[in-house]
């Protein structure tokens, strides 16, 4: 197939096609989303692909497909694996017949995440193999191996690329795509698939019995390998291994760990050939713990004795510092250089014309001193507008709101959640809040798309992952059926209308739901919605700053007056905010 | 050491840094060379600072260490200053003569350097300062400013102009090939005067 310059996730997606994947499911999450985004748009697709409503749902679907003997891929980000942890743990007991590869992308440095957890720990916990690629080419090459390994061992295999694999690019040698249409067949076997206590005790023993063979196999497959070059050694894995290789001095041995669990005897043989060993890995000391167990009295340098950080991501210069400090590199070739200080920061910001900004503005106007639990999506950026007080994980806005309500805090509580997040794990919180009589206002920010991760459709969009029409969920009917009597839909561009409805909600007790409905501006632009642009009549503008405080990136200050720049998407919300009517549509006086 | 030629492309989410990095990657493939890169995806793309690392002949990791970039291409003046510590001694900087102030400057009353102050500060580097927005507009579309920038930087890269131009043709939308070829050539011509 030749060589291409690809994003890591594109290479992974291609490798899935080369492996003859039959079934694909997942929930979007940075840095994992592009794998399904690539797979779902392939014209000659011979596999099934879906965006599921959450990771637990995705994994259970994929597991069932693997039980039917076909190859399944399930993708998510690391924190998504928490949601899928329940089926994950027991899927190790039931095993699979078709290959099941679970891609859980880690995000060291939390570039786009709420924490820095390490998927390798889940593999350890579930006692299943975990493949940890060090480069895009390796990520690509590991995928067919992962399917084969899963089938050979009869176990799900975790595949754990990190941000610097998923969102790196490189020239990748690709294989030929496999086009084949296979139908799965479910063979009833209650002792395997019905985990009542009598069955599960047997299955647990079987899982434990597989461990020794599994470790040996990972070494035989060449995922874990080494070269002896001297009396001291560095052991590394994942992207960290490439940084080490870039710096590795003569006379230092090198071991690369690409798969877990590590065979202890094999590891011990290597370690004992050296006088001291340095372990460099991102996040948890997963390899280091194995090395320490194998090392006996040989000194080991790593996280546990302060030579390497537990948190953040590695980089060539971080690795150079660790190597120099531990005495494995005579001189750091990357001397410290400091960025220029005191520049105004440029963090990500809600787009010009984003519905969330208008909704937050209205919320703040009506509920001035409220508590604002929020959730995970673009709208987490409402933090900059002072309308996000909590974010912990997907679906945790309504639950945190009801918890604060029942804790007795006297403030009004207004929580915000996006449509995709609401369908992911928000609904349970709403049912619970109604059932237990919380006093909260829930604003569902409904832009009908999973925007932040790259505009994936969800059950509220009206199309599937592959663009087939599907009946959109009625959020209104859904909320009513949960027992909410006050459910109102409003266009957040209509600030007055939204303020009126929020005021109505403020007067009432119980759980109130407001669905703030407006298309994501990026989606709107893509489908060709044109609203015209707005400008400031500088003769009228009094420089009061009301529009500036709205925080829209289309509004700037020029010669002390407001000015609307080319980012304007024409939402016209600022025309309603301006107290003197200085903002007018372009072309009008 | 790595032996790669390291280019850092800097911009603001939405300015087309990813297409620019794809063009460089494609040009490397055309010349049969290895290339590694890393870029910003996800939430940070929403109008935030974005960076693309490209390591021509790169064999190892995708990240360029600070102080090691051979060439820095910035689509914005303020971002050029923010990432200037990435440039190695004697490295070259190609910066769009255009300043977009972050919204935080207005909403939080932060002090930002002026265009002239930034240009004065950048003068200590080997600097090329095209007005890429204007040149892109002249070429036929303001969206082609990323290709103007690549053109302006092309004389400072170890890639043949034919490979870059072919990569541009392969990667930009079909309807805009002519505009982007013109954008590249205008940029390259300006780059020759730096």
Position A469 in a domain: yes
A330 within domain boundaries: no
Evaluate whether residue A339 is within a structural domain: no
Cβ distance A465 to A36 under 8 Å? yes
Write down the domain spans for chain B.
5-192
**pLDDT tens digits for range B95-153:** 999 999 999 899 888 999 999 999 999 999 999 999 999 999 999 999 999 999 999 99
Please give the pLDDT value at position A20. Answer: 97
Residue A232 pLDDT: 98
Which of B24, B43, B45 has the most A C-beta neighbours within 10 Å, making it the best mutation to test the interface with A?
A: B43
With beta carbons less than 8 A apart as the criterion, state whether A365 and A385 touch: no
Q: Tally the domains of chain A.
A: 4
- Mean pLDDT of the B43-48 span: 74
Q: Do B43 and A3 touch (CB under 8 A)?
A: no
Pick among B107, B117, B166, B171 to test the A interface (most A CBs inside 10 A): B107
pLDDT tops 80 at residue B1: no
**A441 and A307 belong to one structural domain:** no
Residues of A in contact with B65 (CB under 8 A): 315-317, 320, 334
3-state secondary structure A511-570: EEEEEEECCCHHHHHHCCCCCCCEEECCCCCCCCCHHHHCCCCCEEEECCEEEECCCCCC
Helix segments in B57-160, DSSP class H: 77-82, 103-107, 115-122, 132-139, 145-153
Q: Which of A306, A329, A304, A311 is nearest to A319 (CA)?
A: A329
Nearest CA among A173, A171, A2 for reference residue B25: A171
- Nearest CB among A245, A317, A350 relative to B66 is that of A317
| DSSP string over A42-59 | -TT--SEEEE-SSHHHHH
Residue A398 falls within a domain, yes or no? yes
Residues A562, A428 within the same domain: no
Beta bridge mates, A443: A416, A514
| Judgement on whether residues A77 and A115 belong to the same structural domain of the protein | yes
Give the residue among A80, A17, A84, A18 at the shortest CA–CA distance from A49: A17
Looking at A526, A550, A570, the residue that finishes a domain is: A526
Half-sphere CA count of A96, side-chain side, radius 13 A? 35
Same domain, A202 and A98: yes
User: A550 and A412 in one domain?
Assistant: no
Helix locations, A436-514, DSSP H: 475-481, 495-507
Query: Cβ contacts (< 8 Å) between B83 and chain A: which residues?
Result: 339
Among the partner-chain residues B44, B81, B85, the one whose CB lies closest to the CB of A111 is: B44
Q: Least CB-CB distance to A553: which of B37, B47, B61?
A: B47
Is the model's pTM score more than 0.80?
yes
- Burial class (CB within 10 angstroms; exposed 0-12, middle 13-18, buried 19+) of A157: buried
With beta carbons under 8 A apart, name residues in chain A contacting B103.
Answer: 349, 551-553
Q: What CATH number does the domain containing A422 carry?
A: 3.40.50.970
- Chain B's closest residue to A29, CA to CA, is B42
CB atoms B38 and A349 under 8 Å: no
* pLDDT at residue A311 in the model: 97
Query: Which of A346, A453, A561, A565 is the mutation pick for testing B, counting most B CBs within 10 A?
Result: A346
Chain A residue closest in CA terms to B37: A169
> Between residues B44 and B188, which one has the greater pLDDT?
B188
Three-state secondary structure call for residue A160: coil
Q: Based on the domain organization, do A64 and A108 belong to the same domain?
A: yes
What's residue B44's pLDDT? 63
Listed in sequence order, the residues at least 6 apart from B120 whose beta carbon sits closer than 8 Å to its beta carbon are none
Answer for the pair A156, A89: CB distance below 8 angstroms, yes or no.
no
Residue A413 carries which DSSP code?
B
* Fold annotation for B5-192: Pyruvate-ferredoxin Oxidoreductase; domain 3 (3.40.920)
Cα B50 from chain centre: 11
In a domain, A396, yes or no: yes
* B17–chain A nearest CA distance, Å: 13
Which residue of chain B is at minimal alpha-carbon distance from A339? B85
Among A171, A317, A453, the residue with its CB nearest the CB of B34 is A171
> How many other CB atoms sit within 10 Å of the CB of residue A137?
18
User: Residue A311 maps to which CATH number?
Assistant: 3.40.50.920
pLDDT score at B45: 67
pLDDT per residue of chain A (589 residues) written in tens, 0 to 9: 799 999 999 999 999 999 999 999 999 999 999 999 999 999 889 999 999 999 999 999 999 999 999 999 999 999 999 999 999 999 999 999 999 999 999 999 999 999 999 999 999 999 999 999 999 999 999 999 999 999 999 999 999 999 999 999 999 999 999 988 899 999 999 999 999 999 999 999 999 999 999 999 999 999 999 999 999 999 999 999 999 999 999 999 999 999 999 999 999 999 999 999 999 999 999 999 999 999 999 999 999 999 999 999 999 999 999 999 999 999 999 989 999 999 999 999 999 999 999 999 999 999 999 999 999 999 999 999 999 999 999 999 999 999 999 999 999 999 999 999 999 999 999 999 999 999 999 999 999 999 999 999 999 999 999 999 999 999 999 999 999 999 999 999 999 999 999 999 999 999 999 999 999 999 999 999 999 999 999 999 999 999 999 999 999 999 999 999 999 999 999 999 999 999 999 886 5
| Cβ within 8 Å of residue A372, ≥6 positions away | A363, A382, A387, A388, A389, A390, A413, A414, A415, A416
Nearest to A484 by CA among A475, A497, A473, A496: A475
| Integer Cα distance of A41 and A44 in angstroms | 9
Helix pair angle (B161-171, B17-30), 10° resolution? 120
- Per the structure block, which two tokens stand in for A421? 């997040």
Residue A535, phi then psi, degrees to nearest 5: -140, 165
Question: Which of chain A's residues have a Cβ under 8 Å away from the Cβ of B106?
Answer: 548, 555-557
Of B58, B68, B85, the CB nearest to A340: B85
Q: Classify the complex by whether its ipTM is higher than 0.90, answering yes or no.
A: yes
Using a CB–CB cutoff of 8 Å, tell me whether A556 touches chain B.
yes
Q: Which chain B positions have a beta carbon within 8 Å of A344's beta carbon?
A: 78, 101-102, 104-105, 110-112
Which pair of tokens denotes residue A159?
A: 């595949």
Flag if A347 and B48 touch (Cβ within 8 Å). yes
Query: How does pLDDT run across B13-42, given as a tens digit for each residue?
Result: 889 999 999 999 999 999 999 999 998 876
> Which residues in chain B touch residue A335, judged by CB atoms under 8 angstroms apart?
67
Quickly count: other Cβ atoms within 10 Å of residue A576's Cβ.
Answer: 15
Q: Does B6 touch chain A (CB under 8 A)?
A: no
CB contacts, 8 Å: B2 with chain A: 246
Beta bridge partners of B49: B12
Query: Is there a contact between B36 and A168 if contact means CB atoms under 8 Å apart?
Result: yes
Structure confidence by residue, pLDDT tens digits, B5-15: 999 999 998 89
B42 in contact with A at a CB cutoff of 8 Å? yes
Contact between A233 and A278 under an 8 Å Cβ cutoff? The reply is yes
Residue A217: inside a domain, yes or no? no
Structure token pair of residue B13: 């989410």
- The whole-angstrom distance between A178's CA and the closest CA on chain B is 24
Please choose, from the candidates A444, A449, A469, A452, the residue with its C-alpha nearest in 3D space to the C-alpha of residue A460: A449
- Kindly state whether residue A340 falls inside one of the protein's structural domains: no
Q: Is B192 helix (H, G, I), strand (E, B) or coil?
A: helix
Candidates B1, B9, B14, B61, partner chain A, best to mutate (most A CBs within 10 A): B61
CB-nearest to B43 from A112, A548, A557 is A112
d(CA A440, CA A404): 9
Question: Which residues are CB-contacts of A507 (< 8 A; sequence separation ≥ 6)?
Answer: none
Best mutation target, A526, A553, A577, to test chain B (most B CBs within 10 A): A553
Domain check: are A540 and A518 in the same one?
no
Assess contact for A367 and A424: CB atoms under 8 A: no
Count A/B contacts: CB-CB distance under 8 Å.
159
Give the Å distances, CA to CA, from A178 to A16, A42, A304.
Answer: 9, 13, 45
Place of tokens 């930009």: B172
Best of A1, A2, A5, A331 to disrupt the B interface (most B CBs within 10 Å) is A5
Which of B36, B47, B60 is nearest residue A348 as measured by Cβ atoms?
B47
- Same-domain status, A391 and A479: yes
pLDDT of residue A588: 64
Cis peptide before A564 (omega within 30 of 0): no
> Whole-angstrom Cα distance, residue A403 to residue A147?
43
Indicate the residue of A171, A338, A348 with minimum beta-carbon distance to B29: A171
Measured CA distances, B143 to A375, A579, B138, B146, B176 (Å): 34, 35, 11, 7, 10
Q: Please give the structure tokens belonging to residue A298.
A: 């040989």
Residues of A in contact with B9 (CB under 8 A): none
Cis peptide before B166 (omega within 30 of 0): no
Average pLDDT, chain B: 94
The answer to whether A558 contacts chain B (CB < 8 Å) is no
Out of A505, A526, A547, a domain closes at: A526
**Residue-wise over A60-72: b if at least 16 C-beta within 10 A, else e?**
bbbbbbbbbbbbb
- Cα A324 to chain center, whole Å? 34
By CB atoms closer than 10 A (0-12, 13-18, 19+), residue B193 is exposed
Q: Which domain holds residue A404?
A: 355-526
- The one-character DSSP state at B3 is -
Among the partner-chain residues A167, A454, A548, the one whose CB lies closest to the CB of B38 is A167
Please indicate, yes or no, whether residues A275 and A135 belong to a single structural domain of this protein: no
Shortest distance between the Cα of B13 and any Cα of chain A, in A, equals 8
Among the partner residues B58, B61, B67, nearest to A243 by beta-carbon distance: B61
Give the gap in angstroms from C-alpha B158 to the nearest C-alpha of chain A. Answer: 17
Residues A155 and A46 in one domain: yes
Are residues B153 and B87 in contact, defined by beta-carbon separation less than 8 angstroms?
no
Q: Which stretches within A109-174 are classed as H helix?
A: 119-126, 136-153, 163-166
CA A104, distance to chain mean position in Å, is 9
| Residues contacting A435, CB < 8 A, separation 6+ | A483
Contact of A76 with A104, CB cutoff 8 Å: yes
Q: Do residues A440 and A414 lie in contact, with contact meaning Cβ atoms separated by under 8 Å?
A: yes
Could you tell me if residue A431 is inside a domain? Answer: yes
Please give, rounded to a whole number of angstroms, the shortest distance from the CA of B45 to a CA of chain A: 7
Tell me, what's the pLDDT at A568?
95
């Amino acid at each position: 197939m030749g060589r291409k310059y690809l994003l890591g996730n594109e290479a992974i997606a291609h490798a899935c096609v080369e492996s003859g994947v039959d079934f694909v499911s997942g929930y979007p999450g940075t840095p994992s989303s592009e794998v399904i985004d690539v797979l779902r748009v392939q014209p000659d697709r011979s596999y099934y692909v879906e965006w599921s409503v959450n990771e637990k749902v995705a994994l259970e679907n994929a597991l069932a497909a693997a039980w039917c003997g076909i190859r399944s891929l399930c993708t998510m980000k690391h924190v998504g694996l928490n949601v899928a942890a329940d089926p994950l743990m027991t899927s190790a007991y039931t095993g699979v017949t078709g290959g099941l590869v679970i891609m859980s992308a880690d995000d060291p440095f939390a570039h786009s995440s709420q924490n820095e957890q390490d998927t390798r720990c889940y593999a350890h916990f579930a006692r299943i193999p975990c493949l940890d690629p060090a480069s895009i080419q390796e990520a690509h090459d590991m995928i067919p191996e992962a399917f084969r390994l899963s089938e050979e061992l009869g176990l799900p295999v975790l595949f754990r690329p990190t941000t610097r694999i998923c969102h790196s690019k490189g020239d990748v040698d690709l294989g030929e795509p496999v086009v084949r249409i296979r139908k799965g067949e479910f063979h009833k076997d209650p002792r395997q698939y019905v985990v009542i206590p009598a069955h599960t005790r047997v299955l647990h023993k079987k899982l434990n019995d597989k461990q020794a063979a599994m470790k040996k196999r990972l070494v035989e497959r060449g995922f874990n390998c080494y070269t002896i070059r001297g009396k001291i050694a560095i052991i590394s894995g994942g992207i960290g291994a490439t940084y080490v290789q870039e710096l590795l001095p003569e006379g230092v041995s090198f071991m690369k760990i690409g798969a877990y669990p590590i065979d202890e005897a094999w590891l011990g043989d290597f370690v004992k050939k050296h006088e001291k060993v340095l372990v460099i890995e991102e996040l948890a000391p997963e390899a280091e713990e194995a090395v320490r167990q194998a090392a006996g009295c040989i000194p080991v340098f790593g996280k546990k004795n302060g030579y390497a950080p537990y948190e953040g991501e590695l980089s060539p210069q971080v690795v150079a510092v660790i190597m120099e400090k531990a005495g494995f590199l005579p001189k750091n070739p990357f001397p410290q250089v400091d960025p220029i200080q005191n520049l105004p920061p440029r963090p990500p910001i809600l787009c010009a014309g984003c519905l969330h900004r208008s909704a937050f503005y209205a919320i703040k106007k009506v509920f001035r001193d409220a508590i604002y639990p929020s959730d995970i999506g673009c709208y987490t950026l409402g933090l900059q507008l002072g309308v996000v007080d909590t974010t912990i994980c997907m679906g945790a806005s309504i639950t945190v709101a009801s918890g604060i309500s029942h804790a007795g805090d006297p403030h009004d509580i207004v929580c915000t959640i996006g449509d995709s997040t609401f369908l992911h794990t928000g609904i349970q919180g709403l049912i619970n809040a109604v059932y237990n009589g919380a006093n909260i206002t829930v604003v569902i920010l409904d832009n009908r798309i999973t925007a932040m991760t790259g505009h994936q459709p969800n059950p509220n969009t009206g199309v599937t992952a592959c663009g087939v029409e599907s009946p959109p969920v009625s959020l209104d009917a859904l909320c009513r059926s949960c027992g909410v009597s006050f459910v109102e839909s409003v266009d957040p561009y209509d600030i007055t209308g939204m303020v009126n409805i929020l005021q109505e909600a403020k007067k009432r007790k119980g759980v109130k739901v407001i669905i703030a409905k407006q298309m994501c501006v990026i989606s709107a632009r893509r489908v060709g919605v044109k609203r015209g642009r707005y400008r400031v009549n500088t003769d009228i503008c009094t420089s009061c700053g009301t529009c500036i405080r709205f925080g829209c990136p289309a509004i700037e200050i020029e010669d002390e007056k407001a000015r609307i720049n080319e980012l304007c998407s024409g939402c016209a919300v600022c025309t309603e905010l301006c107290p003197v009517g200085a903002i007018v549509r372009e072309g009008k006086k | 050491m790595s032996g790669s030629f390291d280019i850092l492309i800097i911009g603001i989410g939405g300015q087309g840094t990813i297409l620019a990095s794809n063009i460089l990657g494609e040009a490397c493939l055309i010349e049969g060379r290895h290339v590694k890169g890393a870029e910003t995806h996800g939430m940070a793309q929403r109008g935030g600072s974005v960076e693309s690392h490209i390591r021509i002949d790169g064999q190892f990791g995708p990240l360029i260490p600070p102080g090691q970039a051979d060439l820095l291409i910035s689509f914005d003046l303020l971002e050029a200053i923010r990432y200037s510590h990435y440039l190695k001694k004697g490295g070259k900087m190609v910066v769009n003569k255009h300043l977009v102030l972050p919204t935080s400057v207005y909403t939080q009353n932060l002090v930002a350097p002026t265009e002239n102050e930034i240009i004065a500060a950048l003068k200590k580097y080997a600097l090329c300062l095209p007005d890429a927005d204007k040149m892109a507009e002249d070429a036929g579309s303001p969206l082609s400013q990323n290709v103007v920038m690549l053109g302006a930087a092309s004389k400072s890269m170890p890639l043949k102009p034919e490979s870059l131009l072919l990569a541009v043709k392969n990667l930009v939308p079909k309807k805009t090939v002519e505009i982007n070829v013109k954008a590249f050539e205008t940029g390259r011509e300006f780059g020759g005067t730096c």
